[in-house]
Amino acid sequence: MTTLSSPLRATTADAPPSSPGPRRRARRTPRDWLRDGGLSTLVIALPMILVFGVFSWFPIGRALVMSVQQTNLISTPEFVGLENFVFVLQDPLLGKAVANTLWFALLALVFGYPLPLAAAVLMSEVRRMRGLFSALAYLPVVVPPVVAVLLWKFFYDASPTGVFNTIAGWVGLGPFPWLQNADSAMPSLVLEATWAAAGGTVIIYLAALVGVRTELYEAAEVDGAGVWRKIWHVTLPQLRGVLFITLILQVIGTSQVFLEPFLFTGGGPNNATLTILMLIYDYAFGSSLGGNYGAATALSLMLAGVLAVLSAIYFRVTRPWSS
Amino acid sequence: MAVKNQAAVAERGIVSAHDRRRASVRGSLGVLQGGLLATLVLAGLGPILWLAKAAVTPTQDTLRQPLGLFPHGVDWANLATAWGRAEIDHYFVNTLILAVGAWFFQLLVATTGGYVLSVLRPRYGNLIFGLVLATLFVPAVVLLVPLYLTILDVPLLNISLLNTFWAVWLPMGASAFNVLLVKRFFDGLPREVFEAARVDGAGPFRLLWSIVLPMSKPILGVVSVFAVIAAWKDYLWPLLVLPDPDNQPLSVRLPAIAPYLELDVFLAALAISTVLPIALFLAFQRLFLSGAGLGGAVKG
């Protein structure tokens, strides 16, 4: 993998020499620009400018405008001030969706945050067949998410002969209702989501563990530290940066969870798995009468705002020790 | 002893080489790692093996004894039925077309963009780079609705891309992570080679095609593999912009046809949809496991 990573790492070290071509005091005329190859540069830049312009910059700007407009594709858009935001904030389903999304995020942290770390630390101590360990851990990540959800939906069959209920029956438990019950539905979604994502986090931690300075282990041993104290005082502090990145990534990812509730339960039972992104989807595309695009954009901007504030606070708090 | 330790420094982990030789340490480490391996086989490989088994098992066996091992024999016809009668072949081809087109546009935008920003460096380069980087900080959810309306009525052209593959291909090209990745790779290439080519009379197009791209195969490989995988995984976006079932990829069709298929045929369809991503993973394992795909997670 050296061929891959070394050029990436080298970028900051040997920065390229400053841009070629004559630097002139005098104003450049369009003719100078043409002669210096300005036109062909622009032609080569065109795919990036057009694709980003039309499919990224323009829609982002449009989101800001749409959030203060009444738009439904039928009548002409009309400016309504903060009405969309008021509509969303007064929607009785919003509280439910926010609470469910927070519940999902919290459960995902409890299931999915310590597990990959523990697995990665243990795997980094493996001397033989380490590749086999990481390949097995990563395998669920490559399964297409839709296939994974549909497969697990069958595993979660509530009858005593369902796959998971059969296994639970071997140890005298169950049968559990899994997705059918308002209390167990969300943990069931999180279990599948954790299965599908944990391998990626393990790989990130494994890569970070390679960079841990091993001399410090020697020093800790001289001071009489055992395995646990070495992990706690040497390994984990050196992983702070990456632990912080995975935490932020996980919060940003789980706050936009859609696939699992959409395909497993459709938000049910009794809205127990309705998430913020599902509510946005319902506003915009859920009704055949034409979407409430203004409300959908308003809610997505509010979510983006909360995420931005969260990451900013987290950066502030952890800056003293994350660099 | 000290000399031995020196030699082990490069390779040592949390447990020292000295401790590793102790029977009690080696024993507990072995038990822990054996347990981890068993768990990984069960959790990582288990569901996939189960799917492979269920794909060739009659429906009644899967329902009555989901964990039995072929109680009434193997039913290979499931695969053929799924492929032919359930039209998985058609949706498989759609998925391939989407993946190849998305791969092409991601590569086109990332290489030309990275080349302009890293090598040609026009005066407006920094502004564009800033705008490209800024999109990394906008969560995907913000784009969902306005991008959908943009597809319905593309600015400048005033046409609708709804129900065309362009609606999936082009937005996937706007990946800031790809541009960043390729630009940083180009930054690390030796400038002297570019200067020499310029002196020999190579223009900017020739320089890109004959010098820069051939030197950049590793990074083009990374971008390619992850472009194909991302297109294969995509669900919500193709669901929105490809409402006509004739154009839909596997990910969108599978949940839709589930109620109309017999269970064994449906599970065979799921298995068929999983084969290509797993084959790509096995073929390019080192690429996936090196952490190069971190961007997939960032894009969220």
pLDDT computed for residue B187 by the predictor: 93
Q: Which among A58, A125, A235 has CB closest to B29? A: A125
Structure tokens at B112: 């030309």
Residue A79 lies in a domain: no
Q: Do B290 and A207 touch (CB under 8 A)?
A: yes
Q: Which among A15, A49, A119 has CB closest to B128? A: A49
Q: CATH 1.10.3720.10 in chain B: give the residue spans.
A: 82-299
Q: Do A147 and B254 touch (CB under 8 A)?
A: yes
Residue A71 lies in a domain: no
Residue A34 lies in a domain: no
* Chain B hits for A125, Cβ within 8 Å: 13-15, 29, 33
Residue A39 lies in a domain: no
Structural domain count, chain A: 1
DSSP class of residue A76 equals P
Residue A52 lies in a domain: no
Q: Which among B109, B188, B236 has CB closest to A11? A: B188
Q: Which of A165, A161, A168, A166 is nearest to A177 (CA)?
A: A165
The residue of chain B nearest to residue A51, with distances taken between CA atoms, is B174
The residue type of B250 is L
Structure tokens at A102: 């927070």
Cβ neighbors of A203 (< 8 A, separation 6 or more) are: A134, A137, A138, B288, B289, B291
Chain B: closest CA distance from residue A81 (Å): 18
Q: Which among B146, B154, B254 has CB closest to A297? A: B146
* Structural domain containing residue A291: 91-322
Residue A10 lies in a domain: no
Q: Do B16 and A58 touch (CB under 8 A)?
A: no
Residue A158 lies in a domain: yes
In terms of C-beta density within 10 A (0-12 exposed, 13-18 middle, 19 or more buried), how is residue B152 classed?
middle
C-alpha separations of A213 from A233, B76, B193 in Å: 12, 53, 37
Pick the CATH number of B82-299 from 3.30.750.80, 1.10.3720.10, 3.40.640.10, 3.90.550.10: 1.10.3720.10
Chain B: closest CA distance from residue A299 (Å): 9
Q: Tell me, what's the ipTM?
A: 0.87
**Banded model confidence at residue A14, pLDDT cuts 50, 70, 90:** very low
Q: Do B13 and A37 touch (CB under 8 A)?
A: no
Mean pLDDT in residue range A16-44: 70
> What are the tens digits of pLDDT across the range A197-240?
999 889 888 888 888 888 888 888 888 888 888 888 888 888 88
SS3 A160: coil
> What are the tens digits of pLDDT across the range B134-174?
998 888 889 999 999 999 989 888 899 999 999 999 999 99
Q: Do A45 and B289 touch (CB under 8 A)?
A: no
Residue A155 lies in a domain: yes
Structure tokens at B296: 């997939």
**Banded model confidence at residue A264, pLDDT cuts 50, 70, 90:** very high
Q: Do B278 and A139 touch (CB under 8 A)?
A: yes
DSSP characters for A13-68?
Answer: HSPPPSP-S---SSPPPHHHHHHTTHHHHHHHHHHHHHHHIIIIIHHHHHHHHHTT
pLDDT computed for residue B126 by the predictor: 93
Given a cut of 70, whether residue B7 has pLDDT beyond it is: no
Query: What CATH number has the domain bearing residue A104?
Result: 1.10.3720.10
C-alpha separations of A97 from A92, A93, A164, A268, A275 in Å: 9, 6, 28, 11, 5
* Chain B hits for A134, Cβ within 8 Å: 289
> What are the tens digits of pLDDT across the range B209-268?
999 999 998 899 989 988 898 899 999 999 999 999 999 999 999 999 998 988 889 999
* Chain B hits for A56, Cβ within 8 Å: 135, 143, 171, 174, 176
The residue of chain A nearest to residue B218, with distances taken between CA atoms, is A4
Residue A276 and residue A97 in contact, taking contact as beta carbons nearer than 8 Å = yes
Give the ranges where chain A is alpha helix by DSSP (H).
2-13, 30-35, 38-52, 58-66, 83-90, 92-112, 114-124, 130-142, 145-155, 163-170, 182-210, 215-222, 227-230, 236-254, 259-260, 276-281, 293-322
Chain B: closest CA distance from residue A182 (Å): 22
